[in-house]
Amino acid sequence: MGITRLRELDSPAAVTAGGRTLSYAELRGAAGALAAQFEGAGRAAVWAQNTLEAIIAMVACLECGVELVPLNPKLGSSELEHILSDACPDLVIGGPDAGVGGTHSGVPQLTVDPDARGNLPEQSFDDERPALVIYTSGTTGRPKGVLLPGRAITSNLDAIARAWAWTERDTLTHALPIFHVHGLVLGIFGPLRRGGHVHHLERFTPEAVAAALSGGASMLFGVPTMYHRLAEAARADPAVAGALRGARLLVSGSAGLPARTFEQIRLTTGQRIVERYGLTETIMNTAVRADGERRPGEVGRPLEGVELRIVAEDGSDAPADGETIGEVVVKGPNLFLGYLNRPDATAEAVRDGWFWSGDLATVAPDGYLRIVGRKSTDLIKTGGYKVGAGEIEGALLEHAAVSEAAVKGERDEDLGERIIAWVVLTGGTSVPSERDLADHVAVLLAPHKRPRAVHFVSELPRNAMGKVIKQQLVAG
């Protein structure tokens, strides 16, 4: 078997998107027809729109050993130019009728016909060759191309399947973008490796999710913003609550899930959301097991085959006390091969076989991880203490008037750094003062963790996966 089971199954439902379902045989035929046009290409860029055509194109690349570069369909011209210049694809599949334009206008552009049929070429799979080139979000500089080999994809999908008891009997539904590992590797290739069915929603709405779950989907993947909206909808609409209640597994990732959202879903539906933790460079590192304890804000233990350490500032392994903050360091078959054209960045991130993630976490006595932020933006050194921005954000979200929160440190002559918060208020509640929110945090956490300033904003800047872009938060 390659990465998926596309070549060996003829099950009636492989993928549903855009109101249409293809069986494994039909998906195989459509991918084969497209593959006949590859003409020896080694790398292809695919416009990763939430469509059946994009899914066919991505599956065709994967099954033919053509390195796949998913393109965010909302890329600006400068971002697109950077990725195409860096990746140098031999083909572009899908996208605007006018083509990619600019200096890449000569790159052949293919379209996908879901009704076409052909045969996939015979292929021997090399698990150490790059299968995907996925570009990072670029929040700390120009996006880098992450080279993910087949070995990382298959080992990780099999480990996550064992953790979640995920089988061919499951139908997964989600509306995640398919240019990142969450929506593409877990959300598309995951079901196809199991031999199950993926129902991809072109656009997220609580009603669309409820319809998919009521129509037979057993699993839902989402990000915290989606679950917040589902919680609100479930409280108002018994049909949404009932659909969520009937799911086998609700999984959240790509950003921290607020405890309040976890509790709202639990109270309304009886479901406890499963959380997990991953990165583009490693796919999934940890997960709460389907039969494990589900605690808000905790992302479980390392997956089978994944070695993981929490390294304190002095280089020692942080104690499993649930308090000491350290950097997440990962080793295992899920690791990427390196950054495309960036040996300097690869050498900085991977040392002695360990990937230094830049993510900060604590580990509980039972081995459960809690992610508290990014080392570059979320480790705040204030008054001699080390504080994770994530725990302050979680405390702010416990306040009834707070809908969203982001926290970071800013230079302070007295404290070293002072804690600053940006808050989006919940409609229909009394407006708290800055002092009210600071005191609220000081009650839930140690007093030195209270914000020294709170800015009220209408929205927080976020990327496509729902993560807050803290570099854009500026104190007024």
Predicted local confidence at residue 330, as pLDDT: 98
| 476 confidence band (pLDDT: 50, 70, 90) | low
CATH number of this structure's domain 15-188: 3.40.50.12780
Predicted local confidence at residue 136, as pLDDT: 86
Which CATH entry fits the domain spanning 383-472: 3.10.28.10, 3.30.300.30, 3.60.15.10, 3.40.50.10150?
3.30.300.30
- In angstroms, rounded to a whole number, what is the distance separating the alpha carbons of residues 119 and 110? 17
Report whether 92 contacts 109 (CB < 8 A). Answer: yes
| 374 confidence band (pLDDT: 50, 70, 90) | confident
Residues in the chain: 476
- Both structure tokens of 195: 């031999």
| pLDDT over 60 (residue 139) | no
- In angstroms, rounded to a whole number, what is the distance separating the alpha carbons of residues 327 and 309? 8
pLDDT tens digits, one per residue of 310-359: 999 889 999 999 999 999 999 999 999 999 999 999 999 999 999 999 99
Q: Calculate the alpha carbon distances from 355 to 279, 306, 321, 336 in Å.
A: 11, 11, 23, 9
Pairing state of beta strands 350-351 and 354-363?
Answer: antiparallel
| pLDDT over 60 (residue 157) | yes
Secondary structure (3-state) at 229: helix
Number of H helices and number of E strands within the chain?
13, 26
Predicted local confidence at residue 99, as pLDDT: 61
Q: Could you tell me where in the chain the CATH 3.30.300.30 domains are found? A: 383-472
Angle at 224 between CA 310 and CA 308, to 5 degrees: 15
Nearest to 341 by CA among 88, 10, 37: 88
Sign of the CA dihedral running 386, 389, 391, 393: positive
Structure-model confidence comparison of residues 81 and 27, the more confident one: 27
Predicted local confidence at residue 390, as pLDDT: 82
How large is the average pLDDT for residues 79-90?
93
| pLDDT over 60 (residue 210) | yes
- In angstroms, rounded to a whole number, what is the distance separating the alpha carbons of residues 28 and 264? 41
Q: Calculate the alpha carbon distances from 218 to 61, 167, 168, 173 in Å.
A: 28, 11, 11, 8
| 301 confidence band (pLDDT: 50, 70, 90) | very high
Nearest to 108 by CA among 120, 96, 118, 93: 93
pTM: 0.85
Predicted local confidence at residue 141, as pLDDT: 62
Distance of CA 175 to the CA centre of its chain: 12
The dihedral formed by the CA atoms of 230, 183, 1 and 30, expressed in degrees to the nearest 10: 100
How large is the average pLDDT for residues 240-255?
96
Structure-model confidence comparison of residues 388 and 99, the more confident one: 388
Residues facing 47 on adjacent strands: 71
| pLDDT over 70 (residue 144) | yes
- The strands making up 219-222's β-sheet, listed across from edge to edge, are 20-22, 15-17, 197-200, 171-174, 219-222, 249-252, 274-279, 283-287, 301-302
Q: Could you tell me where in the chain the CATH 3.40.50.12780 domains are found? A: 15-188
pLDDT tens digits, one per residue of 266-278: 999 999 999 999 9
pLDDT tens digits, one per residue of 186-208: 999 999 999 999 999 989 999 99
Q: Across all residues in the chain, what is the average pLDDT? A: 92
End-to-end CA distance of the chain: 56
- Both structure tokens of 412: 């302070």
How large is the average pLDDT for residues 143-167?
97
Report whether 109 contacts 100 (CB < 8 A). Answer: yes
| 391 confidence band (pLDDT: 50, 70, 90) | confident
| pLDDT over 80 (residue 446) | no
| Percentage of the chain lying above the pLDDT 70 cut | 96
Predicted local confidence at residue 76, as pLDDT: 79
Predicted local confidence at residue 362, as pLDDT: 95
Residue 461's φ and ψ, nearest 5 degrees, are -70, 130
| pLDDT over 60 (residue 140) | no
Predicted local confidence at residue 248, as pLDDT: 98
Nearest to 201 by CA among 184, 177, 170: 177
Predicted local confidence at residue 18, as pLDDT: 92
| pLDDT over 70 (residue 100) | no
Predicted local confidence at residue 88, as pLDDT: 96
Predicted local confidence at residue 97, as pLDDT: 65
Secondary element (H or E) of residue 388: strand 385-388
Secondary element (H or E) of residue 307: strand 307-311
Report whether 149 contacts 3 (CB < 8 A). Answer: no
**What 3 state SS string does 163-179 have?**
HHCCCCCCEEEECCCCC
| pLDDT over 60 (residue 65) | yes
Secondary element (H or E) of residue 234: helix 224-236
Predicted local confidence at residue 472, as pLDDT: 87
Secondary element (H or E) of residue 402: strand 402-412
Structure-model confidence comparison of residues 382 and 210, the more confident one: 210
- In angstroms, rounded to a whole number, what is the distance separating the alpha carbons of residues 5 and 255? 30
| Percentage of the chain lying above the pLDDT 90 cut | 73
**What 3 state SS string does 91-112 have?**
EEECCCCCCCCHHHCCCCEECC
Predicted local confidence at residue 196, as pLDDT: 97
Nearest to 60 by CA among 33, 86, 79: 33
| pLDDT over 70 (residue 102) | no
